[in-house]
A = this chain, B = another copy of it.
């Protein structure tokens, strides 16, 4: 027997197998997953396994390696999140999300950091040696809401789309802030004296890290889309490029100390539309399926490792510090959400209700990112205290908050997600209203979201599609695509129910051909009418407005500009009054 030789792949495979079998096990009892979130069960399995390892070996079980977490386990989950991100609600609420992610996280970091420093001044707790900088450093790693934990819980409770995207979007985009603050305070801790210039540089880094991530992601995403233009003859490796380019975007961003999470999300969202149009239907099924599978396995492994790593002797149980950490995390988040939402609601018609605010505050779960960051801290004499506090906060949020959020959502009667997908009629109306609003914004000179969406759409169809799509001369409208998809689904359903008309396939077995011929004529007529409707809707709804010279500044800029200038001046003056 030669175990050494196969050890590494064998153990990795066994861990993945264990995780998958645990997942199957939970679903065998249908009642269990509806009461306890899967993440809790997985941490529990991890705790048991950690206990067994600890009992057998009499030393701490291996701790989850931060490198493994950040390089291999996190990217699949974030890629999945970015690729399946509903782009419409995301961009509609991007302002609110950014406010929560940037201002909210900074608020939490400083709030938690300063109040914990206050606690440290109480002599009875024996914590006077923890400096303000160390408290702020701890605040920076404990403040960030974790996308993996949020996803695991919110996927199961089905709250309405807006609420979901607010919490989930925040948890993804706060990565840029966390990265900057964590690294800033870490370097400050090692510096002899902190100059004001360093603080200024830190503020500048926010923009570099966040926007740099977006740019890296978009660059790789568009390259991926461009590459899939040429895969027509080797369909079999098409799915690969989606994974390769997004992973490269993450690694490149990490290499330059930018936000990898932001990069991979930008990459996924940027390429999705073009890749989908370029690759074959089966490739796309594979991409979607494998992404879900991969993220599901990563997610499972993370929670199990989290449980295993909790057991051991690397904790310092100073209970006052730990308890106050949990309390401050809850209090500052609740305050932050209240204050920020107050400002958000003043500028929006569609306000965030009190119930929603409660769920946003209560849904701020912490997870494996905090855990990995605390282990990445440089060694100093209170590191074990921070590890213990982080562990307790994670277990508290995942177990207590994660398990009670579903009953609370039921109790408060928070607005749920609508069950059915929008009908074709609704889609057409939404699109129609979009164009209408873009037109109104165009006329009124208000540069709102519809204006920018329209601009982007124009740039996309004029330049990007030509460059990135294989069959760019006839881009299919999304309504036509939806129609085709529905047709295909309908056909499969018919075939599976055995209702498919066999007229063309087995004509010899039929007695009365004339009847069939007539019914076929009916069908074709029917189809023709439908096709006409689709065509008219898909093509003309957009183009009529675009080609109308009076409202448009793209096509005939020379003629319309003076008029529009005048209008804008008028409107601005009107506002000024």
Contacts and interface: CB of A to CB of B under 8 A. Distances in A.
B24 A230 contact: yes
A239 B285 CA distance: 13
A572 B58 CA distance: 68
A24 B500 CA distance: 39
Contacts of A563: none
A251 B296 contact: no
Interface stretch (A87-95, A306-314, A485-493): A485-493
Contacts of A342: none
Task: Find the residue from A20, A245, A296, A512 having the highest chain B CB count within 10 A.
Answer: A20
Contacts of A23: 234, 237
A275 to B, nearest CB: 14
Contact of A490 (B10, B500, B518): B500
A515 B518 contact: yes
A287 B292 CA distance: 14
Copies of this chain, count:
2
Given A231-B24, A237-B23, A509-B529, A1 B256 contact: yes
B503 A512 contact: no
Contact of A511 (B20, B289, B510, B522): B522
B286 A240 contact: no
A519 B505 contact: no
A576 interface: no
A512 B522 contact: yes
A469 to B, nearest CB: 17
Nearest to A33: B233
A504 interface: yes
Contact of A527 (B498, B527, B529): B498
Given A244-B17, A254-B6, A502 B518 contact: no
A230 to B, nearest CB: 5
Interface secondary structure of A, over-half rule: helix
A221 to B, nearest CB: 15
Contacts of A286: 285-286, 289-290, 293
Contact of A523 (B3, B503, B529): B503
Interface in A213-243: 227, 230-231, 233-234, 236-237, 239-241
A247 B12 CA distance: 11
A554 interface: no
A484 B498 CA distance: 9
A407 to B, nearest CB: 23
A41 to B, nearest CB: 13
A433 interface: no
Interface in A502-548: 502-506, 509-512, 515-516, 518-520, 522-523, 526-527, 529-531
Given A20-B241, A28-B230, A233-B27, A504 B499 contact: yes
A13 B27 CA distance: 35
Interface in A254-293: 254-257, 282-283, 285-286, 289-290, 292-293
Given A71-B9, A256-B1, A529-B509, A293 B236 contact: yes
Contact of A237 (B1, B293, B509): B293
A72 interface: yes
Given A9-B72, A527-B502, A237 B20 contact: yes
Contacts of A254: 2, 5-6
B27 A239 contact: no
A495 interface: yes
A16 B519 contact: no
Contacts of A499: 504, 523, 527
A366 to B, nearest CB: 24
Interface string A287-307: 001101100110000000000
A122 interface: no
A520 B519 CA distance: 10
A518 B522 CA distance: 13
A496 interface: yes
A130 interface: no
A494 interface: yes
A237 B236 CA distance: 21
A278 to B, nearest CB: 12
Given A6-B71, A237-B297, A506-B526, 6 more contacts: A1-B257, A2-B257, A9-B72, A16-B244, A494-B500, A509-B529
20 contacts: A1-B255, A5-B254, A9-B71, A9-B72, A9-B251, A13-B251, A14-B248, A20-B237, A237-B293, A282-B289, A286-B286, A484-B496, A490-B495, A491-B491, A501-B520, A501-B523, A502-B527, A509-B526, A515-B518, A515-B522
Q: Which 9 A-B pairs have CB atoms at the shortest separation, nearest pair first?
A: A491-B491, A491-B495, A27-B233, A286-B289, A519-B519, A501-B501, A487-B495, A6-B251, A236-B292
